[in-house]
Amino acid sequence: MQSVRPYLAAFRTRFQLMLQYRAAALAGFATQCWWGAIRIMVFAAFYGVHAAAAPISLADAITYIWLGQALLALLPWLADPEIGQAVRTGGVGYDRLRPLDAYGFWYARTLGWMLARAVPRAVLMLLAAGIVLPLVGLGAWAWRPPSGMAAALLFLPAFVLMTALAAAVLMLANIVVAASLNERGVNAVLTPLVIVFSGSLLPLDFFPDALRPFLHVQPFAGLVDIPFRIYFADLGGGAALQGLALQAGWTVVLVGLGRLAMERMMRRLEMQGG
Amino acid sequence: MLQILVEALAKTYRVAERAPGLAGAVRGLVRRRWREVHALVDVSFSLEAGELLAFIGPNGAGKSTTVKILSGILRPTSGRVEVGGLVPYEDRVRHVARIGVVFGQRSQLWWDLPVLDGFDLLADIYRVDPAHYRRRRDELVAMLRLEPLLGQPVRQLSLGQRMRAEFAAALLHDPAILFLDEPTIGLDAPSKLAVRAFVRRLNREQGVTVLITTHDMHDVEALAERVIVIGQGRLLADGPFESLRASVLAERRLYIDFAGPAPELEIRGVTVRTRTERSLELAFDPAVIATPKLIAAIATQHAVEDIHVDEPAIEEVITRFYDLHDAREA
């Protein structure tokens, strides 16, 4: 217990601090409702013409979109702003003075930041798209529960792994930010990469056949495509376990890479001034 | 017991350099020129447990670099460093658990957290035993008069209040060594006095070894028995502050207000520094002409209204010392 105490404290503090930003959560929720509605209309139009060509049903596609909008803040498409700030203000120096594993310390804080942004938005989205929409007679456009008990149970570890993987991706971005003293470049590259390759923009099965073997094994698939397909039982049984293994494997690889990069970066770190 | 050992310490930074202006920027894209900056050159000293050492030197002298190496943030280019038997940058985690650091220009407390929450978080980070933490916290809160501030977010504190909270934050885990990097910078007079009194108490009563860097010579005068002067990365002097002062400047000042116009004075060993219509400021060396003799010489010949003797300001002593060693920042 003593060994994880600092990391839990770092996580908890960041989570609590971020949770204060109610206006940001509401604004994010409103934006994501708006985009969700637009994307559903686009999909509906597409299904109206080409339903046979679609790899998943319209109902699944709609749930996919709501789920994606609800968990958007869990996607690692922006480096943790606290890291950029710490680098600019020299707070990184103080981080080096803590008797902690530097990677673990940042990871815990980044995780707290991500989850604190995601949780209120997800709860609001679930209320709006999962409960209010069916109640007002728009059930066809609603966020539906997982397809069966097995899917629901499998989605839990998939969700945990998607969060862990997302934090590992963010950590790599954070380290580049710390090394380059600027987050704009990192975010400009990261955002489109993550949005496209995670399946957030479009389920990966909608991409051309030739790309799919690659798309299904690259790390970003574990952020959206795999957990969401587990949710509506598109991936079940052995395929689901394979998906979980892929998520776990990439998490381990990216955490390992991040630790190496961080070690290197910290060795080179030079504090400015006097 | 030897607590800090520094031998032949050197730190060299490589900085990219470019000619000013657009042409320089374009050339810099193609071919980058590097310049080596020697922040520290062959610095050696040692410190016993329980000592209080002040590091002084002009801006850019290498004071902060030394503190950052000793605290484990930076690794040196060469040389040997041991603090409490550990090499700070090799054994960082074990080392930093035993030291406390206050950077006067930075904050280690969390801007948006109330002071008390920040302390709680630090206790978690340093894995301080809860009962011990409460005792230590209450002790520091009493010493630094933090009680009324505990519920306030750090961003609402004045600089003086914040520095007091920073000191408590650096000491919650009972470090044996405290590094203070310009802790009084920007503070008002009462806050400076409070900080000095606290540091002295900490050093004398609790035996904490203190290494402080500062520009404020009154800090040095009030606190340190021993002073290291550093300039352009080199160690210029290491010894008691009084002997530093004596070695640099034995000079005295005499300030005289006359009843009438200030006279012309021709006395051996005395120079006129400033002159107004009815007053003079004289510089003299007491070894050449004793103070009572000089005063008598003037008072018997001229109508004097007021007279007093002073030592040159501490800042002046130090500036002369830097000039003597050609150590002022370029």
Residue B291 · residue B255 · CB < 8 Å: no
Higher pLDDT, A266 or B259: B259
A99 part of contact set with chain B, CB < 8 Å: yes
Out of B13, B96, B121, whose CB is closest to A97?
A: B96
Report the pLDDT value the prediction gives residue B330, as an integer from 0 to 100.
Answer: 59
| Dist. CA A46–CA B268, nearest whole Å | 104
Residue A66 · residue A36 · CB < 8 Å: yes
Distances (CA, A) of B320 to B240, B264, B283: 17, 28, 15
Residue B167 · residue B198 · CB < 8 Å: yes
By the 10 Å C-beta count (0-12 exposed, 13-18 middle, 19+ buried), B266 is classed as exposed
pLDDT band for position A1 (cuts 50, 70, 90) = low
Q: How many CA atoms lie within 13 A of B207 on its CB side?
A: 5
Pick the residue from chain B with its C-alpha nearest to A273: B60
Instruction: Give which of B208, B235, B234, B233 is closest to B223, Cα–Cα.
Output: B208
The pair of three-digit structure tokens given for residue B66, joined into one six-digit string: 């030394």
Report the pLDDT value the prediction gives residue B327, as an integer from 0 to 100.
Answer: 65
Out of A6, A96, A273, whose CB is closest to B127?
A: A6
Check whether A271 has a pLDDT greater than 60.
no
The pair of three-digit structure tokens given for residue B240, joined into one six-digit string: 């008691």
Check whether A272 has a pLDDT greater than 60.
no
| pLDDT digit string, tens, across residues B275-327 | 989 999 998 888 888 889 999 988 888 889 999 988 777 667 777 777 777 76
Q: Do A98 and B125 touch (CB under 8 A)?
A: yes
> Measured between beta carbons, which residues in chain B are less than 8 angstroms from residue A270?
13, 74
Q: Do B96 and A271 touch (CB under 8 A)?
A: no
Phi–psi pair at B231, nearest 5 degrees: -150, 130
Instruction: Give which of B273, B275, B270, B283 is closest to B257, Cα–Cα.
Output: B275
Residue B213 · residue B63 · CB < 8 Å: yes
Which residues have C-beta within 8 Å of that of residue A187, sequence separation ≥ 6? A77, A78, A79, A173
> Measured between beta carbons, which residues in chain B are less than 8 angstroms from residue A273?
64, 105
Pick the residue from chain B with its C-alpha nearest to A101: B93
Q: How far is A160 from chain B (nearest CA, A)?
A: 25
pLDDT band for position A274 (cuts 50, 70, 90) = very low
| Dist. CA B5–CA A262, nearest whole Å | 29
| pLDDT digit string, tens, across residues B50-91 | 999 999 888 878 888 999 999 998 889 999 999 999 999 899
Q: Do A93 and B103 touch (CB under 8 A)?
A: yes
H or E segment and range at residue B214: strand B209-214
Out of A8, A91, A98, whose CB is closest to B106?
A: A91
Residue with tokens 């030739």: A210
Check whether A273 has a pLDDT greater than 50.
no
pTM: 0.84
Pick the residue from chain B with its C-alpha nearest to A5: B124
| pLDDT digit string, tens, across residues A34-46 | 999 999 999 999 8
Amino acid making up residue B76: P
| pLDDT digit string, tens, across residues A170-188 | 999 999 988 887 888 899 9
Report the pLDDT value the prediction gives residue A270, as an integer from 0 to 100.
Answer: 58
Task: Please report how the helices B241-248 and B314-324 are oriented relative to each other, as an axis angle in degrees rounded to 10.
Answer: 70
- Helix spans in B186-268 (H): 189-206, 217-223, 241-248
| Dist. CA B279–CA B274, nearest whole Å | 8
Residue with tokens 């016993």: B48
| DSSP characters over B35-96 | EEEEEEEEEEEEEETT-EEEEE--TTSSHHHHHHHHTTSS--SEEEEEETTB-TTTSHHHHH
Pick the residue from chain A with its C-alpha nearest to B67: A274
| Dist. CA A85–CA A99, nearest whole Å | 21
Q: What percent of chain A has pLDDT over 70?
A: 97
Which residues have C-beta within 8 Å of that of residue B1, sequence separation ≥ 6? B48, B49
| Dist. CA B289–CA B297, nearest whole Å | 10
| pLDDT digit string, tens, across residues A72-87 | 999 998 999 888 888 7
Please provide the average confidence, as pLDDT, over all residues in chain B: 88
| Dist. CA A134–CA A221, nearest whole Å | 30
Q: How far is B93 from chain A (nearest CA, A)?
A: 4
Residue with tokens 């609001």: A124
A267 part of contact set with chain B, CB < 8 Å: yes
Instruction: Output DSSP code: residue B235.
Output: E
Report the pLDDT value the prediction gives residue A70, as an integer from 0 to 100.
Answer: 93
Report the pLDDT value the prediction gives residue A115, as an integer from 0 to 100.
Answer: 94
Residue with tokens 């989605």: A155
| Dist. CA B14–CA A176, nearest whole Å | 20
Phi-psi region of B311 (alpha: psi -120 to 50; beta: other; left: phi over 0): beta
Which residues have C-beta within 8 Å of that of residue B6, sequence separation ≥ 6? B43, B44, B45, B46, B66, B70, B79, B80, B81
Distances (CA, A) of A137 to A90, A124, A142: 55, 19, 10
Residues in chain B with pLDDT values less than 50: none
Report the pLDDT value the prediction gives residue A171, as an integer from 0 to 100.
Answer: 96
Pick the residue from chain A with its C-alpha nearest to B99: A97
| pLDDT digit string, tens, across residues A65-119 | 999 999 999 999 899 988 888 877 777 888 889 999 999 999 999 999 999 999 9
| DSSP characters over A4-52 | THHHHHHHHHHHHHHHT-HHHHHHHHHHHHHHHHHHHHHHHHHHHHHGG
Residue A77 · residue A195 · CB < 8 Å: yes
Q: Do A2 and B64 touch (CB under 8 A)?
A: no
**Mean pLDDT value of segment A241-269:** 93
Handedness of CA B12, B16, B20, B23 (dihedral sign): positive
Out of B75, B113, B120, whose CB is closest to A267?
A: B75
